[in-house]
């Protein structure tokens, strides 16, 4: 388990002070595929690099299995890094080593014997499906193959945590899918905890069970992937999701002045009940459905409706309360959220 407590990091450079991380708190369980999403410059790389202390935090602590890695001496840092694999957007393979030599690197560093190295390299190249490329050099590989070698290398020294810094950002969509599938498999088969940072919501949607949204050095929202997709609360998250259910709301002009637009979210349990028609039957209001969309994340579905409700304000309030009682999530749609 990895616990990040009150973690802060400031850089001092020519232009002054940059607070790259501000009081970050995260809890990552063993076996999680934990996604951290944010725009460029949000502090993602800085955060992930604090986990293996490639970056020295300014304050706070990182606990790995209850051990505070901020208290480790240099020798111990090298040891703990050998347990934590890391892959990068630019792969960072050694150009003058072939695939098997690249995978052997962390094993050489950790003083494995020649026989062990050979066996382990074969095993890992098999795992990532590149046995036939063992004598190829990185320049002879495609981006996806390079990332596979990098994954094999990151796991070679029996790491149980894998950090991924924009690992698929340099890859085309279909290669991204295959790399994500490989990560998922590794997570499932070996129980390796994966922490990945990305600026692509698709990556989160594809494999993460939990996710945190980072913006300007702060975690603005976190939860399970389903929660985040179905009920995003922070503006940054909503922007990332580019919600299909809101399409068409921008050009809509209200039928009655003063009427508000509401965004309703139906999660699985409420999705099958005729809540809206019940509400209209019971109360003296008018409902105008403006937009709607049914989505699913990792096999779980949820629906959104945008409606205009008009009627006496007291009754409207009661109607909304009725929806909430029936486990429908209700938000007032802010003007800035409307889309074309």
Ligand X SMILES: Nc1ncnc2c1ncn2[C@@H]1O[C@H](COP(=O)(O)OP(=O)(O)O)[C@@H](O)[C@H]1O
Of 45, 187, 304, 310, which one interacts with Mg ion (CB under 5 A)? 45
Q: Is residue 217 a contact residue for other proteins (CB under 8 A)?
A: no
Measured distance CA(268)–CA(203) in Å, rounded? 23
Site string for other proteins, 129-168 (x = CB under 8 A): --------xxx----------x--xx--x-----x-----
Question: Which of Mg ion, other proteins, ligand X, none binds 56 (CB below 5-8 Å, type-dependent)?
Answer: none
| Beta-bridge partner residues of 332 | 262
Q: Is residue 41 a contact residue for ligand X (CB under 6 A)?
A: yes
Q: Is residue 40 a contact residue for ligand X (CB under 6 A)?
A: yes
Measured distance CA(276)–CA(262) in Å, rounded? 13
Measured distance CA(232)–CA(226) in Å, rounded? 10
Find the binding residues for other proteins in span 67-96 (CB under 8 A).
Answer: 77-82, 84-86, 88, 90, 92-96
The token pair that represents 120 in the structure block: 């382990």
Q: Is residue 74 a contact residue for ligand X (CB under 6 A)?
A: no
Closer residue to other proteins in complex, CB, 72/330: 72
| Beta-bridge partner residues of 13 | 16
Which residues have C-beta within 8 Å of that of residue 330, sequence separation ≥ 6?
A: 262, 263, 264, 265, 320, 323, 324
Q: Is residue 38 a contact residue for ligand X (CB under 6 A)?
A: yes
Q: Which stretch binds ligand X (CB under 6 A): 26-34, 37-45, 170-178, 230-238?
A: 37-45
Closer residue to ligand X in complex, CB, 13/75: 13
Measured distance CA(239)–CA(164) in Å, rounded? 23
Closer residue to ligand X in complex, CB, 8/296: 8
Buried b (16+ CB within 10 A) or exposed e, 103-118: bbbbbeeeebeeeebe
The token pair that represents 156 in the structure block: 């070679």
Query: What CA dihedral angle connects 319, 321, 322 and 326, to 10 degrees?
Result: 140
Of 20, 141, 180, 290, which one interacts with ligand X (CB under 6 A)? 20
Q: Which residues bind ligand X (CB under 6 A)?
A: 11, 13, 18, 20, 38, 40-46
Q: Which residues bind other proteins (CB under 8 A)?
A: 52, 54, 77-82, 84-86, 88, 90, 92-98, 105-106, 108-110, 137-139, 150, 153-154, 157, 163
């Amino acid at each position: 388990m990895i616990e990040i407590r009150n973690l802060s990091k400031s850089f001092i450079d020519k232009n002054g002070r940059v607070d790259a991380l501000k009081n970050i708190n995260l809890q990552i369980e063993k076996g999680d595929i934990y996604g951290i999403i944010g725009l460029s410059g949000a502090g993602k790389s800085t955060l992930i690099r604090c986990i293996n202390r490639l970056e020295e935090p300014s304050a706070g602590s990182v606990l790995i299995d209850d051990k505070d890695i901020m208290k480790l001496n240099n020798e111990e840092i090298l040891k703990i890094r050998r347990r934590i694999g890391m892959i990068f957007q630019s792969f960072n393979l050694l150009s003058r080593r072939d695939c098997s030599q690249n995978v052997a690197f962390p094993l050489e560093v950790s003083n494995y014997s020649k026989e062990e190295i050979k066996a382990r390299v074969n095993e890992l190249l098999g795992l990532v499906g590149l046995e036939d490329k063992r004598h190829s050099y990185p320049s002879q590989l495609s981006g996806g193959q390079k990332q596979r070698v990098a994954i094999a290398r990151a796991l070679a020294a029996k790491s149980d945590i894998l950090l991924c810094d924009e690992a698929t950002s340099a890859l085309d969509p279909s290669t991204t899918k295959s790399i994500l599938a490989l990560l998922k498999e590794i997570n499932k088969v070996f129980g390796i905890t994966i922490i990945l940072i990305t600026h692509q919501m698709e990556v989160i949607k594809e494999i993460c069970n939990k996710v945190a949204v980072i913006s300007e050095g702060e975690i603005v929202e976190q939860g399970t992937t389903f929660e985040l997709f179905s009920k995003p609360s922070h503006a940054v998250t909503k922007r990332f999701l580019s919600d299909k259910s809101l399409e068409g709301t921008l050009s809509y002009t209200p039928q009655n002045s003063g009427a508000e637009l509401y965004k309703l979210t139906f999660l699985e349990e409420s999705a099958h009940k005729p809540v809206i028609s019940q509400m209209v039957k019971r109360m003296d209001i008018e409902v105008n459905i403006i937009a709607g969309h049914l989505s699913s994340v990792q096999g779980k579905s949820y629906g959104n409706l945008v409606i205009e409700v008009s009627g006496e304000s007291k009754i409207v309030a009661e109607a909304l309360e009725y929806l909430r009682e029936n486990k429908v999530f209700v938000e007032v749609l802010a003007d800035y959220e409307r889309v074309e």
